Amino acid sequence: MTVDFSMYQLIMDASLIVQLVMLILVIASVLSWVAIVVKARSLKAAQRAGDDFEERFWSGADLSHLYEGVRRKSEMSGMEHVFSSGFKEFLRARQHGMAPGEPAYRAMRVAIARETDEMERYLQFLATVGSTSPYIGLFGTVWGIMHAFLGLSGVQQATLAMVAPGIAEALIATALGLFAAIPAVIAYNRFAGDVDRIATRMENFSDEFVALLNRQSQPRSSESVAEATV
């Protein structure tokens, strides 16, 4: 008895449940790789934009001019959004004769939370794929093996060759589960660390910026904020 153990034939001969499991895992793997590529590019761009902005900010640029340049941009990066939110609230507080430090700090914290939420997009999906794919594959494997042994119920003399195809096709589900889960878990851990580092960087910037605004506003409260330089 000759059995075709090619991957294609094993998948085509698998039971409907096992085939559905395989299809789910393939779709999950493809979507996770799309999410990995998109997230890797966005986080790399965020880190690069943060470097560029901090270089401009700490180069001694006029804060008002820097704010106007950032505000005119159609799309702000994470660090620019934090700066814009804080400086806007700083100007508003000064116009109303209020201490500007605390309102600016609160505005920047809200901006940081929003930027962090945006950076964490797709991470939950990667975590779900990484944690559930092995179990989905295991379900397909158990079902396939059970189906293979049930096929022997009407056979008087069972041989390994009779159950080998069923077991082989079932194990493909486990392999697909691992194939989907491993990249998702690795990417999730990497991206989660990157998000934490960027968020911490924005928080440190907000603390330094508030300290700078407090220094600028206290001794020179009567002067225009346009004269404030780093």
Q: Residue 28: name the closest of 119, 130, 159 by CA.
A: 130
Contact yes or no for 202/90 (Cβ under 8 A): no
**Structure-model confidence comparison of residues 213 and 184, the more confident one:** 184
Question: What's the structural domain count of the chain?
Answer: 1
pLDDT at residue 3, as a whole number: 47
pLDDT at residue 159, as a whole number: 59
Residue 48 counted as domain residue: yes
* Whole-number Å distance between alpha carbons of 177 and 71: 47
Q: Work out the average pLDDT over 23-34.
A: 93
pLDDT at residue 228, as a whole number: 45
pLDDT at residue 13, as a whole number: 63
pLDDT-wise least confident of 84-93, 130-139, 158-167, 217-226: 217-226
Containing structural domain, residue 24? 7-227
Residue 1 counted as domain residue: no
Q: Work out the average pLDDT over 151-178.
A: 71
Q: 226: how many CB neighbours lie within 10 A of its CB? A: 12
The rounded percent of the chain whose pLDDT value lies above 70 is 78
Q: 43: how many CB neighbours lie within 10 A of its CB? A: 17
Residue 155 counted as domain residue: yes
pLDDT at residue 41, as a whole number: 93
pLDDT at residue 17, as a whole number: 82
Residue 51 counted as domain residue: yes
Residue 2 counted as domain residue: no
- What CA–CA distances, in Å, run from 15 to 8, 72, 79, 184? 14, 59, 53, 27
Residue 26 counted as domain residue: yes
Query: Which tokens hold the place of 116?
Result: 């962090």
- What CA–CA distances, in Å, run from 206 to 62, 90, 115? 17, 12, 13
pTM of the predicted structure, to 2 decimals: 0.77
Q: List, for residues 128-160, the tens digit of each pLDDT value.
A: 999 999 999 998 888 888 877 776 666 556 555
pLDDT at residue 229, as a whole number: 44
Residue 97 counted as domain residue: yes
